[in-house]
């Protein structure tokens, strides 16, 4: 397999991974939807989703709550600026 063929194969695999990851994210958002009666997350689902995906609880939380990810990024960026 030439480098060009290998590169094209890698590109196709990455593209397929992106599409699949988008499907997983959509399924996660449905699975982790808040209870319509209480408005609270269903107990135990974040941990279960982390087990199923293998992504870890933090990544699962950030996928479901993008604002949480933004706050964490801003906090890290602020910490780096203070520590530099």
pLDDT digits (tens, 9 = 90+) for 31-48: 998 888 888 878 889 999
| Predicted structure pTM score | 0.69
Long-range contact list for 73-79, CB < 8 A, 24+ apart? none
Residue 22: pLDDT over 60: yes
At 65, is the pLDDT very low, low, confident or very high (cuts 50, 70, 90)? confident
Contact 60, 53 (CB under 8 A): yes
Contacts of 53 (CB under 8 A, 6+ apart): 24, 28, 60
pLDDT digits (tens, 9 = 90+) for 52-64: 999 999 999 888 8
- In percent, the amount of the chain with pLDDT more than 70 equals 93
Query: Residue 7: its pLDDT value, please?
Result: 94
Assign 37 to helix, strand or coil: coil
Residue bearing the bigger pLDDT, 50 or 34: 50
């Amino acid at each position: 397999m030439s480098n060009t063929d290998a590169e094209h194969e890698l590109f196709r695999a990455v593209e397929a991974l992106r599409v699949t990851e988008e499907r997983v994210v959509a399924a996660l958002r449905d699975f982790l939807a808040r209870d319509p009666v209480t408005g609270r997350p269903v107990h135990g689902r974040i941990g279960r989703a982390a087990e199923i995906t293998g992504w870890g609880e933090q990544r699962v939380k950030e996928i479901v709550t993008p604002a949480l990810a933004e706050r964490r990024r801003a906090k890290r960026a602020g910490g780096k600026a203070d520590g530099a």
